[in-house]
Amino acid sequence: MASSHSRIADLLFEAGLLKTVSRTGWETVRAPRESVAEHSFRTAMVGWVLSKMAGLDEKEEALLIKACLFHDLHEARIGDLHRLAKLYGKLDEKKCEKDQREGLPKEMSQDLESCLSSLSPRLRQYAYEADKIECAITAKEYLDAGYRTQKWIEHTQKEAVKSKEGKELLQAILSANSIAWFIDDPKWDGKGRARP
């Protein structure tokens, strides 16, 4: 069992690399750096929100959140390629994921494989949408800050989000100002002090 514990530790260290792997698409418009770990965290949150909006049961919710959390784990080994770079080569994400599971305890390996490739079509769509909606959230934040990220938003609206819940969530996000939650907070007096 010591060797499997060592392999688990290795996987956790490997996952930590996602904090240093940049999401390269944003670099094309000179937007601030975002790591894959940051993207994965909020994608899992979006998946949780979609699961609540869709009324998923606890098992489906857990599967969806895990799929969102681990969807880019392979990028710890192969990095993140923006869409233009992908035109010139394809990396074997499935082989990478298989290699990442190698040596893990059987139950953990199967669980990781299952949450990445054995989702029902409905959950697979929600996981896909969570990923794309998180990109749209980041694009909205960058757009509000003056970066040219409107194309990411348009693609998400037209191509990626098909579910009723996803469309409703995306519309709420795009209708909001990304810093209003802070600036317009009634507890804040505008001078850095909390109102009594």
Is position 190 within any domain? no
Q: Which two tokens stand for residue 17?
A: 């690399």
| CB-CB neighbours of 60 under 10 Å | 17
Q: Range of 125's domain?
A: 2-180
35: helix, strand or coil: strand
Is position 22 within any domain? yes
Rounded to 10 degrees, the C-alpha dihedral 46/48/54/57 comes to 160
Is position 193 within any domain? no
Whether the full predicted model's pTM is greater than 0.85, yes or no, is yes
- What band does 181 get if pLDDT is binned at 50, 70 and 90? confident
Give the CATH number for residue 9. Answer: 1.10.3210.10
Is position 192 within any domain? no
Is position 28 within any domain? yes
Q: What's the domain count of the chain?
A: 1
pLDDT in tens, 25-74: 999 999 999 999 999 999 999 999 999 999 999 999 999 999 999 999 99
pLDDT in tens, 78-102: 999 988 888 898 889 999 999 999 9
Is position 102 within any domain? yes
Is position 196 within any domain? no
Is position 132 within any domain? yes
